[in-house]
Amino acid sequence: MTKTRILAALIMAPAVIAAVLLLPTGWLMLVSAIVFLLALWEWLRLAGLEDTLARSALLACNLGLMVALVWGSQSHSVRSLPLFQLIVVLGVLWWLLALLWLKHYHFSAEVLGKARAAKLVAATAAIIPAWCALAVIHSSQPRGPGWLLLVLLIVWAADSGAYFTGRKFGGQWFGGRKLAPRISPNKTLEGVSGGVALAMLVALLGAWLIGAPASKFPAIAGAAAITVLFCVAGDLFESLLKRHAGMKDSGSLIPGHGGVLDRVDSVLAALPVFALGKIWLGF
């Protein structure tokens, strides 16, 4: 890990934590919209849309959709956001569909025509629900900001747990089977197992610190485990896009880390899944 990568992480992590804990929901929605739209800009390029004007037009359409969702929810309390909750459900349905897409590696591998159109639709289906889920979690009562921070910690723990477990035990527990060798050859089933385990531990510790009742701990742990599995799907889906596009990184905006999409790919899948679990399981 280079010094540049470490320095960038040391700057980004405190900034994200401070934003989640200190900003009101409305301001956090604005900041996160900028981040997600930057990720969308990179996604559109991976989808084969090289023309800047066309990308700008699609970016404006997605921004308009965000504005429309806020406008359509203005008569409701920021703590309910029923329209946002509906989009969250649609987002989870999209990621279930994305699992089938991942299974069929060559689906939409081309860079033109229907393949590109499918990837452009997928961009909106991933970005908008994640943004809505962020708002739903952060505005929830009680301790919404704490829950949102916990989701991010779960994602970070899953990533770290998968990395170190994969390096130490990769190929030893599941007969050398890889997770998705055609998409991401370095990912192992052992790594996923380690990521899930560490994420569940972090989820339980975080829930205790937040003050969640002990009766909800099993539900929280289960939601964390499922969230991690979808995190993996988000990571793999971006890897699939990059392989189809013949690119190593989605961009170069973040020194040592690649593009914005490279940093939020797992988060895009995690947010809707955890938000739906929080609503459904009542924690």
Structure confidence at residue 76 (pLDDT): 59
- Residue ranges of domains in the chain: 3-281
pLDDT in tens, 65-105: 999 999 988 765 555 588 999 999 999 999 999 999 998 88
Which SS3 state, helix, strand or coil, does residue 265 take? helix
User: For residues 257 and 274, which has the higher predicted lDDT (pLDDT)?
Assistant: 274
Look at residue 79 in the predicted model and tell me its pLDDT: 55
Token pair 């998705």: residue: 180
Long-range contacts from 155-158, C-beta under 8 angstroms, 24+ separation: 155/199, 155/227, 155/228, 155/231, 155/266, 155/267, 155/270, 157/195, 157/198, 157/199, 157/201, 157/202, 158/195, 158/196, 158/198, 158/199, 158/228, 158/231, 158/232, 158/266
User: Residue 68's Cα: distance from chain center in Å?
Assistant: 22
Please tell me the predicted confidence (pLDDT) of residue 174: 86
pLDDT average, residue stretch 120-141: 96
Residue 210 — very low, low, confident or very high, per pLDDT cuts 50/70/90? very high
Whole-number percent of the chain with pLDDT over 70: 96
Split at pLDDT 50, 70, 90, the class of 2 is low
Q: How would DSSP label each residue in 3-61?
A: HHHHHHHHHHHHHHHHHHHHS-HHHHHHHHHHHHHHHHHHHHHHTT---HHHHHHHHHH
Burial (CB count within 10 angstroms: exposed 0-12, middle 13-18, buried 19+), residue 230? buried
The whole-chain average pLDDT of the chain stands at: 91
Which pLDDT score is estimated for 25?
Answer: 95
Q: Which of 180-189, 207-216, 273-282 has the lowest mean pLDDT?
A: 180-189
Q: What is the pLDDT of residues 225-272, one digit of tens each?
A: 999 999 999 999 999 999 988 888 888 787 767 899 999 999 999 999
Q: What is the pLDDT of residues 5-55, one digit of tens each?
A: 778 778 899 999 999 999 999 999 999 999 999 999 999 999 989 899 999
- Which range (90-94, 105-109, 125-129) has the least confidence? 105-109
The answer to whether residue 1 scores a pLDDT higher than 60 is no
pTM beyond cutoff 0.85: yes
Q: What is the pLDDT of residue 186?
A: 87
% of residues, the chain, pLDDT over 90? 72
